[in-house]
Structure 1
Amino acid sequence: MNQSALSAFIWSVADLLRGDFKQSEYGRVILPFTVLRRLDCVLEATKPAVLAELAEREKTGLNPEPFLLRITDRGFYNTSPLDLKKLVGDPDHIRENLFSYVQGFSPAARDIFERFEFHAQVDRLAKAKLLYQVTERFAQIDLHPGVVDNHQMGLVFEELIRRFAEISNETAGEHFTPREVIRLMVNLIFIEDDEVLSKPGVVRTIYDPTAGTGGMLSIAGEYLAEHNPEARLTVFGQELNPESYAICKADMLIKDQDVANIAFGNTLSEDGHPHAKFDYMLSNPPFGVEWKKVEKAVRDEHEKLGYNGRFGPGLPRVSDGSMLFLLHLIAKMRPAADGGSRFGIVLNGSPLFTGGAGSGESEIRRYVLENDLLEAIVGLPTDMFYNTGIATYVWVVSNRKPAHRKGKVQLIDASGMWQKMRKSLGSKRKELADAHIDEITRIFGQFVEAEQDDKPISRIFDNADFGYRTITVERPLRDEAGKIVLGERGKQKGKPQPDTSLRDTENVPLKDDVEAYFRREVLPHAPDAWIDHEKTKVGYEIPFNRHFYVFKPPRPLAEIDAELKQVTDRIVEMIRGLSA
């Protein structure tokens, strides 16, 4: 059964729920039952051996857990003699038996159903006299790993979440990222390390602070398994949404990852891995979402811990917390002396330029660039994500840049690399084909400037190219007679006083000499002006689109006139035809 047919089959359960449940509530039933059936199928082959081992260990009084885990070889087990097919064989006791079956799971798996609030949904289904029908429907579906592999199962979960998010007016993009975008990001963070990652027995860690359903972590694992089956990627993550967390945890459990590494809660206010550092990281934080709920915790950390905490460089405005996740990831980088780190994060356009010199956003960009952490930014096509059509950018950040990248930043404009989807999914109308992913990866890997159809698609800059000084230009205050007003006391005695109504600012590129710029650009227009150096601030912005703008000269006037004449002549002919 292919993934779309599988999703359609599971979605058909919604027909049973219609009337007793609101559409927005379907997911609360279907998602945990899908997970339950998957775990049920995964454990089926080892169930008899587990029950036999359990009976043996109970006789000897030994803790059975390590023995049961060794038998399932899955990181979880179930000690109940029941399974879904046996449950439907006893319709009169379906509720009690279902509770007993779920209670038989090992603690890590049982927590998944607690996050889904599964018991409450079972009670509600029982009261609506739907519990047996729903259980029977899921008992019929074949989710054995030999029929539906882990990758396919991940796609099923994502499809279901997307559908439930759409009908309940939630933002699906908060839960997961398009798979082809993840594949691109994984390529970008791994490509420079292919030699290291291909060594036998290599072990690396990867972390996603906004893990969603675990798609980024899964695809990173698939990439490494393809390139080096002997390599081991240990995954870590944190997720705020209980249902997404439950699915992520289930996915990791089935893939033999340590689910204790997947933390629950708000990453910004409750770091689930407070002392950990990682080799690689990936994140797609929510775009343009305010951080007012966690403002006190974030400000306290910024003010009390400074650079010993995560938010030392500065705080963005409360209306958009995406740059806080950027700082969080930087704080999670393994020190360069210990091998360093590389991460990819998806951001919207705002972090590139929002905020003038001295603002929180500018200070964060300043920290990233002055510490030579930014390797590249890739501009993606619009309409790539399920919940927004806006332009998005992948930032590639590392504290172990190769020698040829040191002091440099590569900008790649991939906004023209896309193919139209056969069917739109929410706001997602475009997708990256494999050829596009390969091309972007090649351009990044080769670290070269490039053009396509006479337009630049890759440009390389010095870090300082994005910096500027904001200087304050003052002009003298004059009295009614036009005479310059001088200060009368203190440091200002005898000095011209500024006229605040004439005060202006100029942004001087960091590579330019301020005095030379002032003489060239200001004094010819205002000979009495001066710079108040005490007010000078350093700022950074990355005007991505400006660097890829190609001027198109307007068409010749004669050509436009000729076209207009053709149109007016046609209109005149039509009017004549009507009046004839």
Structure 2
Amino acid sequence: MNQQTLSAFIWSVADLLRGDYKQSDYGKVILPFTVLRRLDCVLEPTKAAVLAELEAKIRMGINPEPFLRRMAGVNFFNQSPMDLKKLLGDPDYVALNLTTYLQGFSPEVRDIFERFEFQLQIERLAKAGLLYQVAEKFAQIDLHPEAVSNMQMGLVFEELIRKFAEISNETAGEHFTPREVIKLMVNLIFIEDDEVLSKPGVVRTIYDPTAGTGGMLSVAGEYLAEHNPQARLTVFGQELNPESYAICKADMLIKGQDVANIAFGNTLSDDGHAHKKFDYMLSNPPFGVEWKKVEKEVRKEHEQQGYNGRFGPGLPRVSDGSMLFLLHLIAKMRPAAEGGSRFGIVLNGSPLFTGGAGSGESEIRRYVLENDLLEAIVGLPNDMFYNTGIGTYVWVISNRKPATRNGLVQLIDASGLWQKMRKSLGSKRKELSDAHIDRITQLFGQFVQAEEDGKPISRIFRNQDFGYTTITVERPLRDEAGQPVLGVKGKQKGKPQPDSALRDSENVPLSEDVQAYFEREVLPHAPDAWIDHDKTRVGYEIPFNRHFYVFKPPRPLAEIDADLKRSTDRILDMIKGLSA
């Protein structure tokens, strides 16, 4: 059964719910039932053996749990004699039997259904007389991994969540990232490590602080399995949305990962992996979402722990918390002496340039660039995400840059590399093909300046090229006679007082001497001006689009005049024809 057919089949359950459930509540039934059927199918081949083992170990007075896990062949089990098909054999007691079946699962699975608040839905469906019909629907489909791969299953969950989010006017993009974007990010963070990753028995860790349904972690695992089946990627994550968390946890459980590594809660206020460091990281934090709810905890960590905490360099404005996730990931990097880390994070355009010198955003950029952590930024096409059409950028950060990249940053403009989707999904109208992903990966790997069709597509800069010094230029306050007003007290005694109405500021590139710039650019126009050095600030911004702008000269005036004359002549001829 292909993904579209499977999604359509599961979606048909909505027809049963219509009338008794609001459309926005369909997901509360369909998502947990889909997870339940998936787990049900995974355990089906070993069900009889597990029950026999349970009986034997109870007779021996031995704790059966570790033996049941081993017999099930996966890291979870169910010790109830029930399964989804069996409980349909007693229509009058479906609710009771389903509850008993759920209680028979091992603790990590019971937690999944508690996050879904599934028991409430069982009771609600039973009261509406729908429980048997819904359970029967799901019992008909085969969701065993041999019939539906883990990758297909992940896509099914993502499509269902997107549909439910659209119906209830929620933000679908908060839950997941398009798979081709994840594939690109995975390529970029693993690209220079193929040799290391291909060694037999290698173990690496990967972490996503905004894990959603686990798509990024899954694609990373698939990449490594493809390149080195002997390598092991241990995944870690944290997710705030209960339903997405439950799906992520179920997916990792089936793949044999330790689900204790998937934490629940808000990463910014309650780090579920405090003091842990990782080899690789991926994240697509929400764009432009304020962090007011966690402001107290974040500010406390910033002020009390400084650089010993996660937010030492600075705090962005409360209206957009995406740069807090950037700092969080930097804090999670394994020290360079222990092998270092590399991560990819998707951000919108705002973190590139928002905030002047001395602002929280500028200070964060300053920390990243002055510590030589930024390898590259890839500008993606617009209309790539399900919930927004705005431009997005993948930042690649590393504390183990190859020698050739030291002190340098690569900007790649991939905004022209896309193909139109056959059918739009929300705001997503464009997608990256495999060829586009390969081209971007190649540009990153080659680390060279490049052009396509006469336009720059890859450019390389020094870190300091993005820095500037903001100087405050003062001019004297003058009295009615035009004479400078002098200070009469303290340090200002005898000195010209500044006129706030004439105050100005200048941004001086870091590569230039401030005094030389001032003498060249300011004094010829304002000989009485001076610099207030107490207000001097260093700032950083990355004007990405400016570096790829190609000036197109306007057409010659003669050509424009000729076009206008042709148009006016045509209009005059039409008027003549009407009056004839």
> Which bin holds the TM-score, normalised by the shorter protein?
over 0.9
Matches of 1:172 and 1:493, distance apart in 2: 63
Deviations 1:207-239 (A, max 9, x none): 000000000000000000000000000000000
Deviations 1:278-323 (A, max 9, x none): 0000000000000000000000000011111000000000000000
- What letter corresponds to residue 413 of structure 1 in structure 2? D
- Residue 90 of structure 1 deviates from its aligned partner by 1.0
Query: 1:415 is matched with which residue?
Result: 415
Q: What is the root-mean-square deviation of aligned Cα atoms in Å?
A: 0.7
Matches of 1:230 and 1:248, distance apart in 2: 24
Matches of 1:459 and 1:451, distance apart in 2: 9
- Residue 447 of structure 1 deviates from its aligned partner by 0.5
- Residue 571 of structure 1 deviates from its aligned partner by 2.1
Query: 1:522 is matched with which residue?
Result: 522
Query: 1:139 is matched with which residue?
Result: 139
- What letter corresponds to residue 495 of structure 2 in structure 1? K
Query: 1:482 is matched with which residue?
Result: 482
Query: 2:118 is matched with which residue?
Result: 118
Matches of 2:107 and 2:233, distance apart in 1: 24
- Residue 251 of structure 1 deviates from its aligned partner by 0.4
- Residue 200 of structure 1 deviates from its aligned partner by 0.6
Matches of 2:85 and 2:578, distance apart in 1: 78
- Residue 576 of structure 1 deviates from its aligned partner by 2.8
Deviations 1:133-163 (A, max 9, x none): 0000000011111110101111100110010
Query: 2:219 is matched with which residue?
Result: 219
Matches of 2:123 and 2:577, distance apart in 1: 76
- Residue 577 of structure 1 deviates from its aligned partner by 2.9
Matches of 2:219 and 2:244, distance apart in 1: 17
Q: Name the % identity.
A: 84
Matches of 1:576 and 1:134, distance apart in 2: 74
Query: 2:560 is matched with which residue?
Result: 560
- What letter corresponds to residue 372 of structure 1 in structure 2? D
Q: Which runs of 5 or more structure 2 residues have no equivalent in the other structure?
A: none
Aligned partner of residue 314 in structure 2, secondary structure: coil
Query: 1:228 is matched with which residue?
Result: 228
- Residue 491 of structure 1 deviates from its aligned partner by 1.7
Aligned partner of residue 85 in structure 2, secondary structure: helix
Matches of 1:204 and 1:334, distance apart in 2: 11
User: So what's the TM-score if we normalise by structure 2?
Assistant: 0.99
- Residue 329 of structure 1 deviates from its aligned partner by 0.2
1:127 pairs with 2:127: yes
Deviations 1:492-547 (A, max 9, x none): 22221111111111000000010110011101110100111111000000000000
Query: 1:329 is matched with which residue?
Result: 329
Deviates more, 1:482-491 or 1:469-478: 482-491
Aligned partner of residue 524 in structure 1, secondary structure: coil
Query: 2:277 is matched with which residue?
Result: 277
Deviations 1:373-404 (A, max 9, x none): 00000000000000000000000000111101
Deviations 1:339-389 (A, max 9, x none): 100000000000000000000000000000000000000000000000000
1:351 pairs with 2:351: yes
Aligned partner of residue 88 in structure 1, secondary structure: helix
- What letter corresponds to residue 563 of structure 1 in structure 2? D
Matches of 2:107 and 2:578, distance apart in 1: 83
1:238 pairs with 2:238: yes
Query: 1:180 is matched with which residue?
Result: 180
Within 5 Å, give how 1:39-54 maps onto structure 2. Answer: 39-54=39-54
Matches of 2:472 and 2:447, distance apart in 1: 38
Matches of 1:79 and 1:104, distance apart in 2: 5
Deviations 1:539-578 (A, max 9, x none): 0000000000000000111111222222222222332333
Aligned partner of residue 263 in structure 2, secondary structure: strand
Matches of 2:578 and 2:501, distance apart in 1: 63
Matches of 2:565 and 2:8, distance apart in 1: 57
Deviates more, 1:563-572 or 1:5-14: 563-572
Within 5 Å, give how 1:466-505 maps onto structure 2. Answer: 466-505=466-505
Query: 2:403 is matched with which residue?
Result: 403
Within 5 Å, give how 1:95-110 maps onto structure 2. Answer: 95-110=95-110
Aligned partner of residue 84 in structure 1, secondary structure: coil
Query: 1:368 is matched with which residue?
Result: 368
- What letter corresponds to residue 69 of structure 1 in structure 2? R
Aligned partner of residue 468 in structure 1, secondary structure: strand
Query: 1:165 is matched with which residue?
Result: 165
Deviations 1:452-495 (A, max 9, x none): 00000000000000000000101111111011112223222222
1:463 pairs with 2:466: no
Deviations 1:57-89 (A, max 9, x none): 101111111111111221100001111111111
Query: 2:288 is matched with which residue?
Result: 288
- What letter corresponds to residue 221 of structure 1 in structure 2? G
1:534 pairs with 2:498: no
Matches of 1:72 and 1:575, distance apart in 2: 87
Within 5 Å, give how 1:53-68 maps onto structure 2. Answer: 53-68=53-68
Matches of 1:556 and 1:517, distance apart in 2: 36
Query: 1:12 is matched with which residue?
Result: 12
Matches of 1:260 and 1:355, distance apart in 2: 39
1:303 pairs with 2:303: yes
TM superposition outliers: structure 1 runs of 4+ over 4 Å: none
- What letter corresponds to residue 435 of structure 2 in structure 1? A
Deviations 1:390-420 (A, max 9, x none): 0000000001111010100000000000000
Query: 1:545 is matched with which residue?
Result: 545
- What letter corresponds to residue 109 of structure 1 in structure 2? V
- What letter corresponds to residue 293 of structure 1 in structure 2? K
Query: 1:430 is matched with which residue?
Result: 430
- Residue 205 of structure 1 deviates from its aligned partner by 0.1
Aligned partner of residue 277 in structure 2, secondary structure: coil
Matches of 1:359 and 1:567, distance apart in 2: 53
User: So what's the TM-score if we normalise by structure 1?
Assistant: 0.99
Aligned partner of residue 234 in structure 1, secondary structure: strand
Task: Report the number of matched residues.
Answer: 580
Query: 1:447 is matched with which residue?
Result: 447
Query: 2:21 is matched with which residue?
Result: 21
Matches of 1:570 and 1:238, distance apart in 2: 67
Within 5 Å, give how 1:311-322 maps onto structure 2. Answer: 311-322=311-322
Aligned partner of residue 89 in structure 2, secondary structure: coil
Matches of 2:131 and 2:579, distance apart in 1: 75
- What letter corresponds to residue 88 of structure 1 in structure 2? L
- What letter corresponds to residue 247 of structure 2 in structure 1? I
Q: Which runs of 5 or more structure 1 residues have no equivalent in the other structure?
A: none
Matches of 1:566 and 1:180, distance apart in 2: 49
Matches of 2:575 and 2:317, distance apart in 1: 59
Matches of 2:174 and 2:224, distance apart in 1: 26
Matches of 1:578 and 1:77, distance apart in 2: 86
Deviates more, 1:345-354 or 1:551-560: 551-560
- What letter corresponds to residue 400 of structure 2 in structure 1? R
- What letter corresponds to residue 64 of structure 1 in structure 2? P
Deviations 1:101-141 (A, max 9, x none): 01111000111100000000011000110000000000001
- Residue 194 of structure 1 deviates from its aligned partner by 1.0
- What letter corresponds to residue 405 of structure 1 in structure 2? R
1:574 pairs with 2:548: no
